[in-house]
Amino acid sequence: MTTLVWLRDDLRLEDHPALAAAAEDPDGAVVVFLLDEDSPGIRPLGGAARWWLHGSLRSLGEELAALGIPLVLRRGAAAERIPELAAESGADRVVWNRRFGAGRALDAAVADRLREAGRRVSSFRGSLLFEPGSIVTGQGTPYRVYSAFWRACLSAPAPPVPLPRPAGLRAATRQPASDALDEWRLLPQRPDWAGGLAERWSPGEPAAALRLDRFLRERADRYAADRDRPDADAGSELSPALRWGELSPRTVWHRAIAAGVDAGMFLSELGWREFAWHTAAHEPGLHERGLNPQFDAFPWRTDPGPELAAWQRGETGFPFVDAGMRELWRTGFMHNRARMVTASFLTKNLLVDWRIGEAWFWDTLVDADAASNPFNWQWVAGCGADAAPYFRIFNPSAQAQRFDPEGEYAGRWAPESLLIPEIVDLRASRIRALAAYDAMRAGAQPDASPAASSGAEPGAKPSD
C-alpha cells in the first residue's frame, strides 16, 4: 500500500500522526504540501506568513531529503489537486492531520472525491490539545467563556504523549513531479522588506525545537511574573512554530510539564489558542463577522484616512503604541501586551473597524493564523467570545508606565516617538468611544467622527 501524506499547517516530523501512519505502509509514502489559495473559504496568506512558509518548507524539505524522501510541492484548489496527486502516485490511501474552521468543510469535500475514486482516507488528531466537540458545556454547546472552557480542558484526559519521529518512513516508488519552491515567489521581491524578519527568525522544526529548549531552560521560571513586560524578554516566542506546526501543542505541553517549572500560566496560553480554534471550528469566517451580532450596528470608521496610516507606521505620538507597531513591521512579531494596547488604540481611541486592524496584522505577522488573529481582535474590540468589556480601553500611557516603566521597549523600537504630535486626545476619544457604545446598545446613531471629542463621559470604569 502506498500512502499520500497531505501536509498543511503541520510542517514537522515529530509528533506527526499522519506521517507515523504512512511509515507503517510497505510501499512507502508520497509527502505533499499544497499551496491552496484557490479553494472557497481559504484565506490567502499575508506577506510575512509567505516569508515564513518559504523558510519552513525549505527546512522540512532538507529534513525529509535526509531520509531519502522528496517533498512534493504543488499549488491549486485542494479538491482538484489532491485527487490528481493520488492518481499520479498510485496512492491507495491519503492521510492528513485534521484542521478546523473553513478548512474542515474543504477536507470533507476532498475526502468525498478520493473515496469516489476508490481510495481510502484517514485523518488524525494532530493540531490541537483537545478535539473541538470534545470540550462542550453540559448542554452540549461550545463554551463562550474562557475560564470555564479551560477548566473543562484541565478536567479532561491529558493530551496524548507526543509521537517520536516516524521510524521506517520511506519514499514510494512513484513520486509526482514537484514545483520548485523558488518558483512560488513567496519571498518579497523588490523592495525586499524581510531583512528584519531574517535577523530575528529561523523558520523550521529544528530552530523551533531550540527555541522551546531555550525557553524552558532560561525563561519559563519567570514567565508568569514577567510575561506582560515587553522589556523583559520573558516570552516563549513559540507562536510562529505553533502556527505552522513546526511544534505540536502536545509537544509543548508535555515538555513544559516534564521540565518541572511552574507551567500553569504558560499552559493557559496554549489554552487560549485552543479556545480560539474551538470557537473557529463552530464559527468559520471569524475575520469577516463578529461573534456578537449587536456590534453589527456599531459605527466603526471604515475610512479613517491619515490616522490609520499613522498607526500602521508607528507614528501616533504614543511611544508604547509606536514601539509595538514598529516591532511588528521590522520583525513580523509583536509582544502580546503591545498587541492588546495597539488593537485597543485603533478600535477604541480611533474607532477604526477591527477588521481593518486584523487585516493589517494578517499581512504583517509571521504567526497570524485563521483562528487566533481574528479571535484576538474581536476580543479587544468587544464583539468576540469572552470579550473584554467594551469600556475596557487600554490607556497607552498608563500601560507604558506599568509594563515598560523604564521606557526600554519604547526606546528600543520608537525612540523618537515622543517628538511626534499625538494624533488623538486620549480622554476625549475615550468619551467618544463609550458614547458610541452606549448609543449602539440603545439603538441610536452616535457621532463617531474624529471631531466628536467632547461631552460628558458615561458612567464607566476607569481606563486601564
* Span 416-429, average pLDDT: 95
Angle at 409 between CA 406 and CA 412, to 5 degrees: 110
Q: Considering only the top CATH level, what class is 293-442?
A: mainly alpha
Alpha helices (H) along 122-233: 146-155, 195-200, 205-214, 223-226
pLDDT at 456 over 60: no
pLDDT of residue 444: 53
Residue among 88, 131, 193, 272 flagged as catalytic: 272
As given in the structure block, the three cell numbers for residue 49 are 506568513
- Does the pLDDT of residue 452 top 60, yes or no? no
pLDDT > 70 in the chain, percent: 95
What pLDDT score was predicted for residue 205?
Answer: 98
Q: Which of 14, 63, 246, 269 is catalytic?
A: 269
- Averaged over 153-182, what is the pLDDT? 96
pLDDT value for 450: 44
Q: Is 269 a catalytic residue?
A: yes
Give the pLDDT of residue 387. 75
Q: Write down the pLDDT at residue 385.
A: 86
The answer to whether 253 is a known catalytic residue is: no
Longest dimension (CA), the chain: 75
Distance from the Cα of residue 198 to its chain's centroid: 19
Element (H, E) at 250: helix 249-258
Task: Check residue 50 and give its pLDDT.
Answer: 98
pLDDT band at 431 (very low <50, low <70, confident <90, very high): very high
128-161+204-282 CATH pick, 1.10.10.10, 3.40.50.2300, 1.10.10.410, 1.25.40.80: 1.25.40.80
The verdict on whether 362 is a catalytic residue reads no
For the domain 3-127, what is the CATH code? Answer: 3.40.50.620
Q: Look over the chain and give the mean of its residue pLDDT values, rounded to a whole number.
A: 92
377 tagged catalytic: yes
Annotated active-site residue in 292, 336, 408, 422: 336
- Res 461: pLDDT: 30
Question: Cα-flanking dihedrals φ and ψ of residue 213, to 5°?
Answer: -60, -45
Looking at 51, 354, 362, 413, which residue is catalytic? Answer: 354
31-70 tens-digit pLDDT: 999 999 999 889 999 999 999 999 999 999 999 999 999 9
Q: For position 190, what pLDDT does the model report?
A: 74
> Is 360 one of the catalytic residues?
no
Q: Mean pLDDT throughout 115-140?
A: 95
pLDDT tens per residue across span 309-363: 999 999 999 999 999 999 999 999 999 999 999 999 999 999 999 999 999 999 9
| Contact of 15 with 166, CB cutoff 8 Å | no
What local confidence, expressed as pLDDT, does residue 394 receive?
A: 95
323/350 Cα distance (integer angstroms):
18
Percentage of the chain beyond pLDDT 90 is 85
Please tell me whether residue 385 adopts helix, strand or coil conformation. Answer: coil
DSSP states of 52-109 as a string? HHHHHHHHHHHHHHTTT--EEEEES-HHHHHHHHHHHHT-SEEEEE---THHHHHHHH
- Known active-site residue 272: yes
Q: Which residue, among 335, 451, 452, 454, has the nearest Cα to 399 in the 3D structure?
A: 335
Asked if the model's pLDDT at residue 29 lies above 70, the reply is yes
Residue 446's pLDDT band (cuts 50, 70, 90): very low
Domain ranges of the chain: 3-127, 128-161+204-282, 293-442
State pTM to two decimals.
0.93
Q: What is the mean pLDDT of residues 263-271?
A: 91
The active-site residue, picked from 6, 96, 253, 377, is 377
The C-alpha cell 458615561 sits at 458
pLDDT at 256 over 60: yes
Region 241-264: mean pLDDT is: 92
The terminus-to-terminus CA distance of the chain in angstroms comes to: 60
Give the C-alpha separation, 256 to 248, whole Å. Answer: 13
